[in-house]
Amino acid sequence: MGSMQRIMQCISISEDDAFAFVGSKTGEVLKFRIDRDNIKSFNEPDSTRPALHDYNRERFSKGVRSISCIINPETGNTNIIAGARDGTLQIINPNLKLSKTHIAHLSGAVTSISLAPDGKSFYAGTDHSQRYHITLGKFKPDLCGTCHFGEIHDIIFPKKTSEIFITASVQDIRVWNSILRQELLRIRVP
């Protein structure tokens, strides 16, 4: 990497506190060794310091926006889930190689990744205000929830009903069921 500077956008620490994985604006995932000396007197310098350990050679388009460490149940190794600004969501192995089988494309930049308590799935959020649930085995995103990601310019209720209403936003028009609190139809406007 040389002396080039990077703008870091996200960080996750391995379960054993040995490594920090950082996502950069240039699309790399950097692996830092973060082990330190035991607590010493303030006059004694550290002999072990955090340092760059490795980075992935295959970059993510538009940068890495979110990152999370997860333990592979089969191997016990720490894998990384990386979410990119182009909507790519992908598993990276401990050697920082991209998985060719565990890749998904979401609508909008991946802004957050949250592991489910069971450790077998996770949730991902995007800047288009969409939430996805992804199981690690299948790695197929299921849309859980959505809403307008821009300002709402108008809302209207049809005559003689309050169960359905229509909203108009920057890039889409949506029909909603107010009782079920569910989107029924989305029309994208170019």
CB atoms within 10 A of CB 134: 21
User: Quick one: CA torsion of 93, 98, 100, 106, rounded to 10 degrees?
Assistant: 110
Residue 3 has what pLDDT?
65
Residue 161 has what pLDDT?
86
CA distance 125 to 66: 10
Rounded to the nearest integer, the mean pLDDT of the chain is 88
Tens of pLDDT along 3-53? 668 889 999 999 888 899 999 999 999 999 887 767 777 777 777 777 888
Tens of pLDDT along 125-183? 999 889 999 998 899 999 988 888 888 899 999 898 889 999 998 888 999 999 998 88
Residue 61 has what pLDDT?
86
Residue 131 has what pLDDT?
93
CA distance 11 to 79: 14
Q: Measure Cα distances from 133 to 15, 20, 104, 116, 123 in Å.
A: 22, 25, 12, 9, 5
Residue 103 has what pLDDT?
94
Which region holds residue 181: left if phi is over 0, alpha if psi is between -120 and 50, else beta? left
Whether the predicted pLDDT of 89 surpasses 70: yes
pTM of the model: 0.80
At 138, the amino acid letter reads K
Q: Measure Cα distances from 162 to 60, 159, 180, 181, 187 in Å.
A: 46, 8, 12, 12, 21
- Grade residue 2 by pLDDT with cuts at 50, 70 and 90: low
Residue 168 has what pLDDT?
93
CA distance 117 to 121: 8
Using alpha carbons only, how large is the chain's radius of gyration in Å?
21
Residue 4 has what pLDDT?
66
